[in-house]
């Protein structure tokens, strides 16, 4: 059997008492709406400032307040910041899940918990630290309504004491978080100190987990992928953004709007070089983006699975009428409404050939914030170059979680506005222009932008059959010629897309192919395979579809290639097989579709089973 | 009722205000049925844009899908056109004017396109006051797919295949007034003079100008209120019914002097009657509540009220609300679209 | 190169003067809206009644009146009634296209034309028959408005005289066509006779084409695929049809409505056992059909490509919430609005995995009116059995053209209403029921219908994650278990779908795979290959997706298998390769995407080139 | 204004008309925010259906997507439920009542669900007079996606992130009256007595009963008309803003004796004011034009008019128009669904 569907696998129990420094996970269980996001971010930022490679993942329900939520922080001195499946340090603040959370731990782990929950009775093989949050919160927070919130900052202090997080950095993080609100800074700082002091006095360190300053974050930033993509749009020169709210993509549009307001409004006149429109639904948002792209704007829309489905008809129009538009799909778990707050890579297939009839839409697939920034900016160039919809495929894990990243490089390339004819250009062509005439032989034709004042500039865009001059045509030859040209154009697109990142290895026993956020898990799994099994592997991370020939060559070089992806039906492998049928039998599949950010252990276990290691 | 012959293409005569002849305002030869009301509307657009001296290169003509939506190919050949998808042209038009607020957007839609599949977009476009002249070529049926009912079909009317419509029609003008359109008018495809006047008024409006034009489908629709007469007339005038046979008709025109304040009956090709009521000259179109009342009252009397029903000149248009740069967004160069290196540095420092 | 895209190829010129009996094509060029459809149908029916296997294809524009339209009749004593690419007898009534129509003929062909067109000057190598239609029509049709129409009946008479069609059958056909309108019968008959008499007197037969009574249509009917599918729905027990007008599917819903009115209204009470609703758009029509399916009706909707795209989100809901609904896609040429009146098989890929996330939707693919009838009826059984959307994939050629067919067999199987629990059933289960609990191990769970009076009958249908009892759940295990079960269910579906029709052949040099309306062309091409090249072939016509194992075995047995299909991107082959990667290299591709009904010569030429014959 | 504590779950007391206690009318524990108006509406539904002795097995509860659309899980546990897709519940509900016209359909939607993405379906449902009680839990924002504007947001209001709304709100009731709904009412989630009475009235209506219930979102929306006060109040009452922090509020209730014909100001959680005007007792809800006028007038005065605004009891419902069999379609057996062999023979003979 070549296909493995990965169910969660338990890591082997480790009872070690040796110190574990800068290489463990902290898992905070709270109640949604209790404001724990602030305290978790403060934690994350403090660790970041201590120079420890770190990531934070929010495992939240589709709910506003009341349901259980978790935040999991992964620190790794080796720089593996994918999710760690195992929890090492649990902070149990939520009575609804506390028992289950504790039960799921491996022996030797640490539990900080709210004293009244009495979790220490549950197991003997863990290190328990009860904390009387209610008692601690009252003196530092006079307003009862806010205590629910302030309790959470207290655990930051407790963790600082227990794990060796520098209080100085906690303070800096609080300052950063509440910069404009001195009252809030004070309240939170007092709470953190209360937690810290109390823990120093009352808790005896028993567990092996400890943080220590290192130098891992020189020149780095912390950012969510959505904000990175938003910046990419802003620095990519977007001029029209249309969107409809949907998790997990809303924050992309919202932060783009904020950055645009900041950098793209003339401070003197107050006038904007952009428009951001919240549409009435996804049919309208894609329709507006297409209208704007047709009329010469750099336009984009952002959405998630249900929106992609609704946009299907319109995307076919843009493809066929050859209108540039960028679509960002921040993938969440489908089908249907599915799990709106869980991550997935389940839209590859639908995006690639969205809409009825023969269609192809290029995809750019970033795996890091840097790539979110760069690829989003580039997507506009690709879209305007090929005059077609272009997808940027993020996912919830990448988009909504905080990642450390290198500072983004200012885009040094010139914007490519594609084959656009000015009044003068038309004049020079002496009437020898047709909107859909393939003059250059690359399938890409020249367009004019409405408003062009040349009397011959106008053409008629349509979703119906047309001849090279954009006249309505039902002629068989016109149709075939046009469709063949469009295919040629689309296949040529691969040269414009980011090349795969290949880590080849002559000693590789087998290879991995992955895309997007599977990257962290694959990287770490390769290290696990090497350290634990002595097995070397190769790795090709694809970053664009249609795939590059380099990907084909890579697969051809390796007899067993595991395609790792986060969906049920091996969608990435399906696309690989479709494009490279000849090497189809090299491709195996590791599919995880549980909605959590993929972790390395899951990949390793699956490979170990397949390879019978 | 008086039906004159199809408006002949005028010869290109003296050039207009901006020095253009009639030709750039014309389009391809129509492929709609002979006698289709939509053709008359195209003629009026041609005349009106010519006479007003609109620069056709600064016009975009947009449509959905339908016989009506085909018609932008038949006028303003020097304007960019976009025949988009069924019912969703409002979004495309909105995007286009965002990209270039200097464009004059002319939307042409059908009643199926607007009131059936496109109702949501139609309403939200009006709510935003998107600057556009939005013409509904209203025949109460789906012409292009062969005569099924649209949401403006009158209750009790029958299709060619004998299916009767049990539902009340949507009054697009009433809806428009209520949903925030800032210019709402209704006319009849055969009323040259009025339709021209309305189009000219719409041209000087800044926000969404909805112009609902009753435009009989000679091939499929037994029009508004014609329930009783249809079968009788058809069966008697045309001795046989044959699949796919479309008899030739002349376009219907009412006399030029159809006076404000009066009611006129127009006989359609199938013998059914249309009762047009023209608003009196001193009608005040700035009172929203009165406009609504007047529309509803006409419905109750089985009349179709025509004229400029409502105007609001205060409300800023959507592109005004967004406070866009003076230069159309589409024309802003890379140097202003991409913020400077310092901006990125600033953000990076914050995030570090 | 394995992929061949077929552009129209000219057939070798044949100058034969030998008689050609019952094996040629008649091509009528008229103006849309001139009512020529009636005269063409009369022609078709007369030939049918003469016992000659015959088909008629309407090549019409997306227009109501005025644009050119063609009707092409294929008669074949061998029973090959696919389109013949070559025109043998041209009736040139349309001045817009007459010259081009004549230019495209091979030498030796016959042209009947309207005298004032003076076509006889154009070429020397054709047989021309000028007819003064205007002069002939005036005496028989006093009403000038109707003459445009009546002219067309005159050519029926002329053709009867020239080609040997029996006037008696012309008369019968007229009677059938205008049964309730004696005036119309008279008018048309007089016109036909006028044409016949004039031709008898003035025309000298020079061409070799002739019809002759035979016995080819015993027990046969003539019908369009849409009407056949409509009957299938009626006799399949449909109770709710929701639709939105779109070519080429409208006539399916419309004729279903007519048949339902006739057979499913109680003559006494006037009450109906069905509802047909013309929705405001496709989002609404699929939504209504889903609501009806959920509440226990046998529901269906019918549409074409643009509608399928719009239905995408809703279909994902029905798939995931497991609601039976039948979708009929009468495929037309896409992408986008494309060519609304041209045929295609371009929606296979979009239908198969419509909507975001991991989805699968079974398809039934009929090739004949008999199968339209049977498969549509069966589709309800499949849908209710698997509680999921099921697609029936027709196309314009099948749906809107007239085909000869065997009389339909009355459905002798019992309706399968699937796993539905009554009040009693629930009682017996003693609370041991959960909407999504897999009791039988086939992935198919038991459902209750709203209105069930048992206090435990209710469940909550939703597009979000749920546990086996239909409670909202975001749990990883629940999600994985549910998705794995749904896949199991869907893959099991293939056993419920029509098996492929296989014509195996141990001497086959290579094999064909096809589906739907490619059938006629493939059948005839196999005969051409045998007769003209002496090559034997095998053939497997798939009729359902996911594909049967028999299809896999067939492909495995043949090293070179040409997958013939009517789209650009080899969609059927893509699905075959996806399901059977191991034999992917057996599969080659012949894709025609010009929008005409596929003809045999096009297939043969493509194969001949590929095989270097 | 008076805010009482959250309506406590009543103890199951004496059984109702059909012998059921309160329990089958309840649902799962709500997962909405404390103080959310939607919870009050759920309570009213529970009480009302219990008191009227509705058989819950014959009810279907349908919704779209949103906080509001989640609420059907929190009442009527013995009824089949369908949480469908965003904005398109009307179609699903229509299909359900076609399949079984005996079902009592209860639709619950949000303002985003109904007036933004779902506007087209909402209108066409009303036009068909589909038999359904359609409740809009109207908070002027998208609760579930964190507070963006919906199409009923009042002009000038601000989101938490400081974006202001430039567009005029859609008045769902005005739209409903115009588009053919046959029962149109508005209430406030906190007005127990009135909301109960309206729900009971809706239960006895045969066609589409639209009930727009103003239902404040305590977490995201500075409600209707609160523009000026919002920031001030927020900044002063809550000393810090923290990502993802949802303070706990009690539900708002107005006094039971808020009298017909009077105007009442209700203070919302953020300190903004809502002006409710209750229709006088002798208001005649059968006059369509007057209803429209009254609604528009209230809008101009910045008031929210509550009560039963319009009723038409004459118009047949959609399932009546279709003249369906007495037995629900879903319950008709194969023998009546499949016409006899003779019918097929008849057709085959015609086609031969
Ligand atoms: C999504 C989609 N559904 C259906 C159609 C088929 N269709 C084409 S035109 C039309 C109706 C047009 O009616 P209307 O807008 O009133 O225009 P008219 O032809 O009457 O002028 C329909 C349903 C389509 N093109 N696209
Ligand atoms: C097609 C689609 N687009 C977007 C969303 C995301 N979404 C979920 S709920 C919602 C808005 C709900 O607002 P409303 O109907 O007013 O309900 P409320 O939460 O305010 O009660 C949106 C946009 C979705 N689920 N589906
Ligand atoms: S079918 Fe009707 S609407 Fe269409 S072109 Fe003909 S007359 Fe006009
Ligand atoms: S976010 Fe608003 S609408 Fe949603 S549950 Fe909370 S208070 Fe109610
Ligand atoms: Mg129309
Ligand atoms: Mg809301």
pLDDT tens figures, D11-55: 557 999 999 999 999 999 999 999 899 999 999 999 999 999 999
Inter-chain CB proximity C63 and B244 less than 8 Å:
no
Quote the pLDDT of residue D243.
66
Quote the pLDDT of residue C129.
98
Q: Please tell me whether residues A337 and A446 are part of one structural domain.
A: no
Tens digits of residue pLDDT in C10-56: 444 345 568 999 999 999 999 999 989 999 999 999 999 999 999 99
D245 confidence band (pLDDT: 50, 70, 90):
confident
How high is the mean pLDDT of chain D?
A: 87
Helix H or strand E encompassing D59? strand D59-63
CA distance B149 to B169: 10
Q: Please tell me whether residues C484 and C510 are part of one structural domain.
A: no
Q: Please tell me whether residues C391 and C433 are part of one structural domain.
A: no
Burial-class residue C484 by CB neighbours within 10 Å (0-12, 13-18, 19+). middle
Tens digits of residue pLDDT in A307-362: 999 999 999 999 999 999 999 999 999 999 999 999 999 999 999 999 999 999 99
Segments of chain C with pLDDT less than 50:
1-3, 7-14
Starting from the CA of residue C62, give the closest ligand.
1
What residues does B110 pair with on adjacent strands?
B137
Quote the pLDDT of residue D228.
27
D6-331: CATH topology: Rossmann fold (3.40.50)
Query: How far does the centroid of ligand 4 lie from the alpha carbon of residue C290, in Å?
Result: 29
What ranges do the domains of chain D cover? 6-331
Tens digits of residue pLDDT in C196-216: 999 999 999 999 999 999 999
| Average confidence (pLDDT) over D122-135 | 98
Quote the pLDDT of residue A129.
98
Question: Which subunits count as partners of chain A given 3+ CB pairs below 8 Å?
Answer: B, C, D
- Here the tokens at position D45 are 């539904």
Quote the pLDDT of residue C290.
98
Quote the pLDDT of residue D230.
30
Q: Please tell me whether residues A141 and A275 are part of one structural domain.
A: no
Considering its fold, how many domains does chain C have in total? 4
From atom 4 of ligand 3, which residue's Cα is the shortest distance away?
B143
Confidence check: pLDDT of A191 > 60: yes
Q: Please tell me whether residues A244 and A333 are part of one structural domain.
A: yes
> Is the peptide bond between C335 and the residue preceding it cis, with omega within 30 degrees of 0?
yes
Q: Report the residue of chain C nearest B119, measured CA to CA.
A: C280
Quote the pLDDT of residue A47.
98
Quote the pLDDT of residue A10.
41
Quote the pLDDT of residue B301.
82
Domain that holds residue A462: 423-495
Query: How far does the centroid of ligand 3 lie from the alpha carbon of residue B219, in Å?
Result: 6
How high is the mean pLDDT of chain A?
A: 95
Write a three-state SS string for chain B.
CCCCCCCCCCCCCCCCCCCCCCHHHECCCCCCCCCCHHHHHHHHHHHHHHHCCCCHHHEEEEECCCHHHHHHHHECCCCEEEECCCCCHHHHHHHHHHHCCCCEEEEEEEHHHHHHCCHHHHHHHHHHCCCEEEEEEECCEECCCCCEECCCCCCCCECCCCCECCCCCCCHHHHHHHCCCCEEEEEECCCHHHHHHHHHHHHCCCCEEEEEEECCCCCCCCCCCCHHHHHHHHHHHCCCCCCCECCCCCCCCCCCCCCCCCEEEEECCCCCEEEEEECCCCCCCCCHHHHHHHHHHHHHCCCEEEEEEEECCCCCCHHHHCCECCCCHHHCCHHHHCCCHHHHHHHHHHHC
Q: Please tell me whether residues C39 and C184 are part of one structural domain.
A: yes
| Average confidence (pLDDT) over D115-132 | 98
**D112, D141, D214, D246: residue to mutate for ligand 2 pocket, most atoms within 8 A of CB:** D112
Q: Contacts of residue B341 in chain A, CB cutoff 8 Å?
A: 410
Quote the pLDDT of residue C71.
97
How much of chain A, in percent, has pLDDT values that exceed 90? 93
Quote the pLDDT of residue D160.
67
Q: Is residue A1 part of a domain?
A: no
A5 confidence band (pLDDT: 50, 70, 90):
low
How high is the mean pLDDT of chain C?
A: 95
From atom 2 of ligand 3, which residue's Cα is the shortest distance away?
B217
Question: Which subunits count as partners of chain C given 3+ CB pairs below 8 Å?
Answer: A, B, D
Tell whether C66 lies on the interface with A, counting CB pairs under 8 A. no
Quote the pLDDT of residue D218.
84
Q: Please tell me whether residues C59 and C166 are part of one structural domain.
A: yes
Q: Is B218 in the pocket of ligand 1 (CB under 6 A)?
A: no
How much of chain A, in percent, has pLDDT values that exceed 70? 97
How much of chain D, in percent, has pLDDT values that exceed 70? 87
Tens digits of residue pLDDT in B280-303: 888 999 999 899 999 988 888 888
Quote the pLDDT of residue A202.
97
CA distance D95 to C287: 7
CA distance B228 to C247: 30
Quote the pLDDT of residue B233.
31
Q: Please tell me whether residues A171 and A245 are part of one structural domain.
A: no
| Average confidence (pLDDT) over A499-524 | 97
The residue among D330 and B8 whose pLDDT is bigger is D330
Tens digits of residue pLDDT in C365-422: 999 999 999 999 999 999 999 999 999 999 999 999 999 999 999 999 999 999 999 9
CATH code, domain carrying C175: 3.40.920.10
Q: Is D269 in the pocket of ligand 2 (CB under 6 A)?
A: no
Q: How large is the ipTM?
A: 0.96
What residues does D234 pair with on adjacent strands?
none
- Cα D192 to Cα A66, B286, D4, D215, D261: the distances in Å are 25, 40, 11, 12, 17
Q: Is residue C553 part of a domain?
A: yes
pTM above 0.90, yes or no: yes
Inter-chain CB proximity A316 and C334 less than 8 Å:
yes
Confidence check: pLDDT of D58 > 80: yes
Q: What is the pLDDT along chain B (352 residues), one digit of tens a residue?
A: 333 333 344 455 799 999 999 999 999 999 999 989 999 999 999 999 999 999 999 999 999 999 999 999 999 999 999 999 999 999 999 999 999 999 999 999 999 999 999 999 999 999 999 999 999 999 999 999 998 999 998 887 777 667 788 898 999 999 999 999 999 999 999 899 999 999 999 999 999 999 999 998 888 875 444 432 333 333 333 444 566 677 667 777 877 677 888 887 777 666 667 777 888 888 999 999 899 999 988 888 888 899 999 999 999 999 999 999 999 999 999 999 999 999 999 999 999 9
Atom of ligand 2 nearest to the CA of A246: 6
Q: Is D33 in the pocket of ligand 4 (CB under 6 A)?
A: yes
Quote the pLDDT of residue D269.
66
Q: What is the DSSP string of C357-415?
A: SS----EE---SHHHHHHHHHHHHHHHHHHTSEEEEEEEHHHHHSEEEEEPPPP--SPP
Q: β-pairing, A325-333 with A299-303?
A: parallel
Quote the pLDDT of residue C5.
52
Q: Is residue A481 part of a domain?
A: yes
CATH code, domain carrying C544: 3.40.50.920
Inter-chain CB proximity B329 and A288 less than 8 Å:
no
Q: Contacts of residue C577 in chain A, CB cutoff 8 Å?
A: 577-578, 581, 584
Q: Please tell me whether residues A64 and A143 are part of one structural domain.
A: yes
> Is the peptide bond between C248 and the residue preceding it cis, with omega within 30 degrees of 0?
yes
Q: Please tell me whether residues A559 and A602 are part of one structural domain.
A: yes
Q: Is residue A9 part of a domain?
A: no
Quote the pLDDT of residue D232.
30
Confidence check: pLDDT of A45 > 50: yes
Tens digits of residue pLDDT in D267-307: 776 666 777 788 888 899 999 989 999 998 888 888 889 99
Confidence check: pLDDT of A578 > 50: yes
Cβ contacts of residue A171 below 8 Å, gap of 6+? A189, A192
Quote the pLDDT of residue B235.
37
Confidence check: pLDDT of D8 > 60: no
Q: Is B149 in the pocket of ligand 1 (CB under 6 A)?
A: no
Q: Please tell me whether residues C161 and C248 are part of one structural domain.
A: no
Quote the pLDDT of residue B243.
66
Inter-chain CB proximity B245 and C254 less than 8 Å:
no
Question: Which subunits count as partners of chain B given 3+ CB pairs below 8 Å?
Answer: A, C, D
Q: In what order do the strands lie in the sheet with C537-542?
A: C3-5, C587-591, C561-565, C510-515, C537-542, C501-503
Q: What is the DSSP string of A330-369?
A: EEEE-SSSBEEEEE--TTHHHHHT-SSSS----EE---SH
Q: Is residue A411 part of a domain?
A: no
Q: Please tell me whether residues A481 and A514 are part of one structural domain.
A: no
Query: Among A38-52, A145-159, B66-80, D214-228, whose mean pLDDT is lowest?
Result: D214-228
Quote the pLDDT of residue B247.
67
Partner residue facing D170 (CB), from B119, B171, B179: B179
DSSP state of A376: H
Count of Cβ atoms closer than 10 Å to residue B164 Cβ: 12
Inter-chain CB proximity D151 and B124 less than 8 Å:
yes
């Amino acid at each position: 059997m070549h296909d493995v569907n990965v169910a969660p696998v338990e890591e082997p129990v480790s009872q070690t008492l040796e110190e574990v420094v800068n290489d463990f996970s902290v898992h905070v269980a709270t109640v949604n709406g209790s404001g724990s996001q602030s305290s978790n971010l403060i934690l994350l930022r403090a660790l970041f400032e201590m120079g420890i490679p770190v990531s934070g993942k929010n495992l939240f329900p589709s709910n506003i307040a009341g349901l259980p939520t978790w935040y999991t922080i992964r620190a790794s001195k080796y720089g593996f910041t994918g999710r760690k499946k195992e929890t090492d340090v649990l902070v149990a603040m939520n009575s609804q899940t506390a028992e289950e959370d504790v039960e799921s731990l491996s022996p030797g782990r640490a539990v900080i918990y709210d004293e009244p929950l009495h979790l220490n009775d549950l197991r003997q093989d863990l290190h328990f630290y009860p904390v009387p949050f209610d008692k601690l919160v009252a003196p530092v927070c006079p307003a009862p309504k806010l205590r629910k919130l302030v309790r959470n900052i207290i655990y930051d202090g407790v963790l600082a004491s227990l794990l060796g997080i520098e209080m100085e950095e906690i303070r800096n993080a609080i300052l950063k978080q509440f910069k404009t609100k001195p009252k809030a800074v004070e309240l939170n700082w007092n709470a953190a100190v209360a937690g810290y002091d109390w823990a120093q006095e009352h808790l005896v360190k028993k567990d092996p987990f400890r943080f220590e300053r290192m130098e891992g974050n020189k020149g780095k930033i912390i950012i969510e992928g959505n904000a990175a993509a938003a910046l990419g749009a802003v620095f990519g020169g977007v001029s029209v953004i249309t969107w409809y709210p949907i998790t997990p993509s809303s924050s992309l549009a919202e932060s783009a709007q904020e950055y645009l307001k900041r950098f793209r409004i003339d401070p003197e006149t107050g006038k904007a070089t952009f428009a951001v429109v919240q549409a009435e639904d996804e049919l309208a948002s894609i329709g507006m983006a297409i209208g704007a792209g047709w009329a010469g704007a750099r336009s984009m829309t952002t959405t998630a699975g249900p929106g992609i489905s609704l946009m299907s008809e319109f995307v076919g129009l843009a493809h066929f009428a050859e209108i540039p538009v960028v679509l960002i799909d921040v993938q969440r778990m489908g089908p249907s409404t599915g799990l709106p707050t869980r991550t997935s890579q389940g839209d590859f297939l639908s995006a690639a050939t969205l809409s009825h009839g023969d269609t192809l839409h290029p995809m750019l697939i970033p795996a890091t914030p840097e790539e979110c920034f760069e690829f989003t900016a580039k997507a506009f160039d690709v879209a305007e170059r090929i005059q077609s919809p272009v997808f940027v495929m993020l996912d919830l894990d990448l988009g909504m979680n905080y990642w450390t990243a290198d500072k983004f490089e200012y885009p040094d390339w010139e914007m490519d506005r594609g084959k656009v004819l000015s009044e003068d250009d038309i004049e020079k062509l002496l009437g020898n222009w047709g909107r859909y005439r393939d003059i250059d032989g690359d399938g890409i034709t020249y367009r004019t932008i409405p408003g062009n004042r040349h009397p011959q500039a106008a053409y008629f865009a349509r979703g119906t059959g047309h001849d090279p001059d954009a006249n309505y045509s039902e002629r068989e030859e016109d149709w075939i010629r046009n469709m063949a040209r469009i295919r040629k154009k689309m296949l040529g697109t691969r040269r414009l897309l980011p090349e795969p990142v290949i880590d080849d290895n002559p000693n590789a026993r087998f290879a991995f192919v992955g895309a997007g956020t599977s990257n962290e898990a694959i990287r770490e799994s390769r290290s696990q395979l090497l350290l634990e099994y002595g097995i070397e592997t190769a790795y090709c991370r694809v970053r664009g579809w249609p795939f590059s020939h380099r990907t084909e060559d890579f697969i051809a070089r390796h007899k067993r290639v595991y395609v790792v992806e986060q969906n049920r039906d091996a969608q990435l492998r399906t696309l690989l097989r479709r494009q490279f049928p000849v090497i189809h039998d090299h491709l195996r599949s590791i599919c995880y579709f549980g909605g959590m950010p993929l972790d390395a252990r899951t990949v390793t276990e699956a490979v170990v089973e397949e390879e019978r290691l | 009722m008086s039906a004159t012959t199809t408006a002949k293409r005028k010869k290109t005569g003296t050039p207009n205000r901006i020095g253009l002849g009639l030709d750039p305002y014309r389009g391809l030869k129509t492929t709609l049925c002979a006698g289709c009301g939509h053709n008359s509307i195209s003629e009026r657009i041609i005349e009106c844009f010519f006479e007003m001296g609109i620069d056709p290169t600064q016009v975009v003509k947009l449509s959905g899908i339908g016989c009506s939506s085909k018609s932008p190919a038949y006028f303003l050949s020097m304007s960019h056109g976009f025949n988009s998808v069924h019912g969703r042209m409002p979004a495309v038009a909105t995007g286009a004017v965002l990209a270039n607020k200097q464009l004059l957007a002319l939307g042409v839609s059908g009643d199926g396109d607007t009131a059936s599949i496109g109702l949501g977009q139609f309403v939200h476009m009006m709510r935003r006051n998107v600057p556009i002249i939005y013409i509904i070529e209203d025949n109460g049926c789906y012409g292009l797919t062969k005569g099924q009912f649209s949401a403006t079909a009158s209750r009790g009317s029958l299709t060619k295949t004998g299916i009767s419509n049990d539902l009340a029609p949507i009054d697009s003008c009433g809806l428009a007034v209520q949903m925030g359109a800032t210019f709402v008018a209704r006319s009849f495809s055969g009323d040259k003079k009025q339709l021209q006047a309305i189009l000219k008024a719409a041209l000087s409006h800044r926000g969404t100008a909805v112009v609902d034009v009753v435009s009989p489908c000679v091939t499929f629709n037994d029009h508004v209120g014609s329930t009783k007469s249809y079968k009788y007339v058809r069966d008697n005038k045309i001795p046989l019914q044959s699949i796919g046979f479309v008899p030739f008709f002349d376009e219907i025109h009412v006399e030029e002097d159809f006076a404000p304040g009066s009611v006129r009956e127009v006989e359609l090709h199938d013998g059914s009657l249309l009762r047009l009521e023209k608003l009196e000259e001193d009608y005040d179109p700035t009172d929203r509540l009165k406009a609504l009342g007047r529309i509803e009252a006409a419905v109750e009397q089985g009349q179709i009220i025509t004229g400029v029903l409502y105007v609001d000149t205060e409300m800023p248009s959507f592109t005004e609300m967004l406070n866009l740069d003076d230069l159309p967004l589409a024309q802003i160069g890379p140097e202003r679209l991409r913020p400077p290196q310092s901006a990125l540095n600033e953000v990076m420092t914050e995030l570090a």
